[in-house]
Amino acid sequence: MATIYVKDRDGVDHVLEAEVGASLMEPLRELDGGAIEALCGGMCSCATCHVFVVSEWYAKLPAATDDELELLEGTECFNESQSRLCCQVKMTDELDGLQLTIAPEE
């Protein structure tokens, strides 16, 4: 397990455990209120799992695919140095301590 630090849409901080090898989406969609919708279930087709990863952690993530980037660039609050679709981020031991904010609902 890896620990992640999450600020939800209400500005409330959460400390969550994420399973290494699984998608970052999984623990985030368990959050009550202020959580991601993940409407497509992780198929990289909805962008409702948009998060802003703190810059120092963003640099440690594998690069986004063209499909992910295309969806992100279509969101109103896209931030090229922080935006990711959490369904496309696979948790690793190196991401223990990851910090992120859930993007506003669109």
Sheet holding 83-85, edge to edge: 13-18, 2-7, 98-102, 50-53, 83-85
Only one residue has tokens 């985030």, namely: 28
Q: Write down the least CB distance from residue 71 to ligand FES, Å.
A: 6
Residue at shortest CB range from ligand FES: 87
**88 CB-near residues (< 8 Å, 6+ apart):** 23, 44, 64, 65, 68
Q: Which amino acid is at 85?
A: L
| Number of amino acids touching ligand FES (CB under 6 A) | 14
Residues 31-90 that bind ligand FES (CB under 6 A): 38-40, 42-49, 85, 87
Q: Write down the least CB distance from residue 2 to ligand FES, Å.
A: 19
* Residues of this chain that bind ligand FES (CB under 6 A): 25, 38-40, 42-49, 85, 87
